[in-house]
Structure 1
Amino acid sequence: MGKNRLIDRYLEALTAAESENTALKTLEKARLLRVPPNPIHYTLLFDYLAEVDPFLMEQLETALKLKAYNDDTADELYQRYITHLISRHLPVDQAEDTLRRMKEELERWLEEFSSEHNALRVDIETLREDHHDIAEAIIDKVILPRLEAIEKRSENLVRQVEQFAVQMERLRAKLTSSYEEARTDPLSTLLNRRGLMEALKRLVSEAEESDTPFAVIMCDIDHFKRINDNYGHTVGDSVIRYVARVLKNETKGQDLVARLGGEEFVVVLPNTSYEGARHVAEKIRETIANKKLAVRLNNKPLRFTLSAGVAMWRPGESIEDVFERADRALYRAKQQGRNRVVGGADLL
């Protein structure tokens, strides 16, 4: 099943939760299983009956066949299910919003439960005052014990809400960490291609709305294979990390810096002119060309250079188009002897 279809079915199921028939089926299932219809059981059983997700269907059916569905297994399954649903099928912003709404729904459910419980207490006291002789035995021997049981379940629910809040924070942190890892290059700690493309989609949309330009600088370390061959891949990795630091230092907070792979990097400068972008590219090139890197067990310091191609985004064109022009400018820089910056205007 496709990702979008799964999300659609989940949202349809959430909407259908207001259906009295669906709710009654869920409550009846809880009764048959002899579990309380608290938010965790209700969510699991409702989504199971609605066939929202194959993962939940398989997990819950296994527990039911083994007659192992109870409070403890439900708590564990609920956490696995929410983690699965969020990490697999929802973007990070929707996922965090889903977690927040789940917590709010639990708190709302508890508030309503507490309000009805307090009203029942008042009704009992009124009954005792108005019909003391008749009602006392019933109140003390039947109603009050049941009310105390309800209060105990209410206390348990409070603890569940508190535990859910802790779990929600852990899931949110895990989700954010996983999201960042998925869009970050581990060696350079810069954005990877996926992270860059996600950010560029937003940037292009903003640039089109505000009619403001942005520039792309495509960078490539000159003779990087020679560095790996002569000094080893450990030194090569250090060179990658050093170039990443230079790119970060020469750019501002709103600029995008990414490693596309190997020795190739890209810098995107929002709201920047061609002259401004070319100036940044030259500063990057000069900083790297003037640096001598010490190499352990080698008396001769390592010097290397970088070439760059600059292109301006044009309204209406795709990300691929401006990248292709920046890449052609980079190729021209390599052809002209490396350690230089070539701009799109130089190709005309």
Structure 2
Amino acid sequence: MSNKSCRYTDNTQQAKQTTNQVLQRLNELNVPSTPVHFTLLYEMVSQTDPEFAEELSNLIKHHDYTDESVRPLFRELLKRIINQHLPTDEVSQLINEVLEHLENWSSESEHYHQLLIENMACLQACQTQDKVMQCLNQNILPPIQKITNNNQKLQQQINDSTQIIKKLKSELEHVTTLAKTDSLTGIPNRRGFNELIEEQIKTVQSEGISLCMVLLDLDHFKKINDTYGHLVGDSVLRYIARTLHAETKGHDAIARLGGEEFVILLSDISYQNALNISEKIRHRIASKVLSVKGHTLPLKFTSSFGVSQYKARESADQLFDRADRALYLAKQNGRNQTCGEHQL
């Protein structure tokens, strides 16, 4: 395909500098220079997608950059690249073909229409029935038949193009959904959350309802991964996603922001009720016991929560910042608890 926007720079010198930085990072992290690690670190160094680069930086910052931990991120990257390279050329070509068919049909229809007008004058001049029939058969019916045939041909061409466009549209919607969905848990990822929060804020502003944000973070999740392995850690994350899904309904929304951090958007609810829901979820998570093969002691885990309430005309970032600071306070105070913005 041609005319695609390029994800990476075409500047040879700049690409070489980025490559050298990537090689240095590979050496510092002591990971093999496989296509997976090289590609991910190239993304981080080049800052092609700042949001994605931040997720990688956080893994490195918390010393959790491993073969297992980066696999979901690599799958996420592939989805984003696919999303960027959707078949827009095919759609453009189909549209051009349809326009060409329409132009040809319009031109020919106009020609036969004018011909009919001229021949109608001839028909009106006919004095006998034989002359009328002759004029109809020679001058009137052929243009009408041509117009009918052209209409049928155009209809078939449009139908064929429409089917292909519908197929491409379906593929576009599928890939777009994948790009906004966390592959591990099946709930929206950070990109999906960004859309959700903007939609929620618009609803709040137009309908005058309340909105609360709840951030939750699994306590000592790295220890779970180190002790039980990433497969068990993944199971815990999926359990959290199922729990949040079960505890929210209606216009509420959930997402995984990355790592062990999740978010809940609660609409048309009071600040106190948001705190109550957070506490309910926290207790449910803390009471969960998982049996892990090869380990005598069952796995138990806890989570910390931060709650904020939307204020008129503020941005999503401002709402998020207060919930994030409340979450940090909950962790500072000993974890496994809920803190709200009023405690800041």
Q: TM-score range by the shorter chain?
A: 0.5 to 0.7
Map of 1:168 onto structure 2: 165
Structure 1 pair 225–189 and aligned structure 2 pair: CA distance change class (3 A): same
1-structure distance, mates of 2:270, 2:180: 28
2-structure distance, mates of 1:116, 1:199: 53
2-structure distance, mates of 1:198, 1:80: 23
Instruction: Calculate percent identity across the aligned residue pairs.
Output: 37
1-structure distance, mates of 2:301, 2:322: 25
Map of 2:284 onto structure 1: 287
Contact 1:110 1:158 in 2 (8 A): no
Structure 1 pair 141–182 and aligned structure 2 pair: CA distance change class (3 A): same
- Does the residue aligned with 1:252 lie in a helix, a strand or coil? coil
Residues 78-117 of structure 1, C-alpha deviations (whole Å, 9 max, x = no match): x85363699xxxxxxxxxxxx9xx99xx99x989998997
Residues 247-291 of structure 1, C-alpha deviations (whole Å, 9 max, x = no match): 111111211211111000111111211111011101111111111
2-structure distance, mates of 1:113, 1:255: 56
Map of 2:307 onto structure 1: 310
Q: Which runs of 4+ in 1 moved over 3 A?
A: 79-86, 109-153, 296-300
Structure 1 pair 165–296 and aligned structure 2 pair: CA distance change class (3 A): farther
CA shift, 1:139, in A, is 6.5
- The equivalences for 1:1-348 within 5 A come to 81=89, 83=91, 131=126, 148-347=145-344
Q: Which range moves more in the overlay, 280-289 or 188-197?
A: 188-197
Amino acid at match of 2:337: R
Amino acid at match of 1:229: D
CA shift, 1:197, in A, is 1.7
- Does the residue aligned with 1:217 lie in a helix, a strand or coil? strand
1-structure distance, mates of 2:111, 2:270: 64
2-structure distance, mates of 1:115, 1:302: 78
Structure 1 pair 201–125 and aligned structure 2 pair: CA distance change class (3 A): same
| Structure-1-length-normalised TM-score | 0.61
Structure 1 pair 290–114 and aligned structure 2 pair: CA distance change class (3 A): farther
- Does the residue aligned with 1:323 lie in a helix, a strand or coil? helix
Contact 2:219 2:302 in 1 (8 A): yes
Amino acid at match of 2:89: Y
- Does the residue aligned with 2:312 lie in a helix, a strand or coil? coil
CA shift, 1:246, in A, is 0.5
Runs of 5+ consecutive residues of structure 1 not aligned to the other structure: 4-78, 87-98
Runs of 5+ consecutive residues of structure 2 not aligned to the other structure: 6-86
1-structure distance, mates of 2:225, 2:199: 36
Structure 1 pair 84–141 and aligned structure 2 pair: CA distance change class (3 A): closer
Contact 1:289 1:306 in 2 (8 A): yes
Amino acid at match of 1:237: D
CA shift, 1:219, in A, is 0.3
Amino acid at match of 1:232: G
Cα-Cα RMSD: 4.1
CA shift, 1:311, in A, is 1.2
Contact 1:211 1:315 in 2 (8 A): no
Contact 2:275 2:338 in 1 (8 A): yes
2-structure distance, mates of 1:117, 1:140: 15
Contact 1:256 1:269 in 2 (8 A): yes
2-structure distance, mates of 1:339, 1:141: 91
CA shift, 1:122, in A, is 10
CA shift, 1:194, in A, is 1.9
1-structure distance, mates of 2:267, 2:108: 52
Structure 1 pair 317–141 and aligned structure 2 pair: CA distance change class (3 A): closer
Residues 211-266 of structure 1, C-alpha deviations (whole Å, 9 max, x = no match): 33211111001111111111111111111111001111111121121111100011
CA shift, 1:294, in A, is 2.9
| Structure-2-length-normalised TM-score | 0.62
CA shift, 1:159, in A, is 1.1
Residues 41-87 of structure 1, C-alpha deviations (whole Å, 9 max, x = no match): xxxxxxxxxxxxxxxxxxxxxxxxxxxxxxxxxxxxxx85363699x
User: How many residues were matched structurally?
Assistant: 257
Contact 1:228 1:235 in 2 (8 A): yes
